[in-house]
């Protein structure tokens, strides 16, 4: 009986250690799904195959790239913007990047320290902060409320958006 009393704690210790190792290996093994664009030491770049979708949040998006830092278990969404960086921060691009950070964090269960807007002349880092998380949550709540409204006013003053809009001929707020 004394031997059994010693063996059981030892077995529990071994099982616990194995579970810890398995959990560590599993976390390190989680990778974004997509075409592997580049592997360089502990850095892996991916091009997502399709939309990242969170059904419960009714949110979807597809960044141009994902940069995985395997040693830190972090993944960074990247969006390429084919123009020069603006003089003032682009709120729309920043908000879109917040959504990408949220999607990557939730879907791949990895820390997302920031996202990267890759302009033609400059890389701009958008930190994934509690403030940006709250701003995204507030925006999504407002969008869901307005999605149920019967009439919603235009939210921009950009003629080029209206010019490319498929309902501009019948829209009473079109700018062109
Ligand atoms: S034409 Fe109307 S619906 Fe289309 S983008 Fe402009 S304001 Fe929005």
**For residue range 114-124, what is the model confidence (pLDDT) as tens digits?**
999 999 999 99
- The reply to whether ligand 1 has any atom less than 6 angstroms from the CB of 35 is no
Domain assignments of the chain as residue spans, ordered by start: 2-163
**Ligand 1 center to residue 75 CA distance, Å?**
35
Question: pLDDT tens for residues 158-167?
Answer: 999 999 999 9
Q: What is the pLDDT of residue 76?
A: 94
- The reply to whether ligand 1 has any atom less than 6 angstroms from the CB of 171 is yes
Residues near 108 by beta carbon (within 8 Å), at least 6 away in sequence: 30, 31, 32, 75
Residue carrying the six token digits 């509690």: 130
Percent of the chain whose predicted confidence (pLDDT) is above 70 = 82
- The reply to whether ligand 1 has any atom less than 6 angstroms from the CB of 165 is yes
CB atoms within 10 A of CB 98: 24
Q: Which atom of ligand 1 is nearest to the CA of 174?
A: 1
């Amino acid at each position: 009986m004394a031997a059994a009393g010693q063996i059981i704690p030892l077995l529990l210790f071994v099982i616990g250690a194995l579970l810890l190792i398995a959990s560590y290996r599993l976390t390190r093994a989680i990778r974004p799904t997509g075409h592997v664009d580049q592997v360089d030491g502990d850095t892996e770049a991916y091009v997502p195959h399709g939309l990242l979708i969170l059904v419960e949040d009714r949110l979807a998006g597809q960044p141009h790239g994902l940069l995985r830092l395997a040693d830190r278990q972090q993944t960074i969404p990247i969006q390429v913007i084919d123009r020069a960086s603006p003089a003032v921060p682009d709120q729309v691009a920043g908000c879109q990047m917040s959504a990408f950070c949220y999607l990557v964090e939730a879907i791949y269960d990895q820390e997302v320290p920031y996202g990267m807007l890759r302009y033609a002349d400059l890389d701009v880092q958008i930190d994934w902060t509690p403030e940006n998380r709250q701003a995204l949550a507030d925006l999504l709540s407002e969008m869901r409320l307005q999605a149920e409204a019967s009439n919603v006013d235009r939210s921009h003053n950009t003629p080029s958006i209206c010019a490319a809009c498929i309902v501009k001929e019948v829209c009473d707020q079109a700018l062109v």
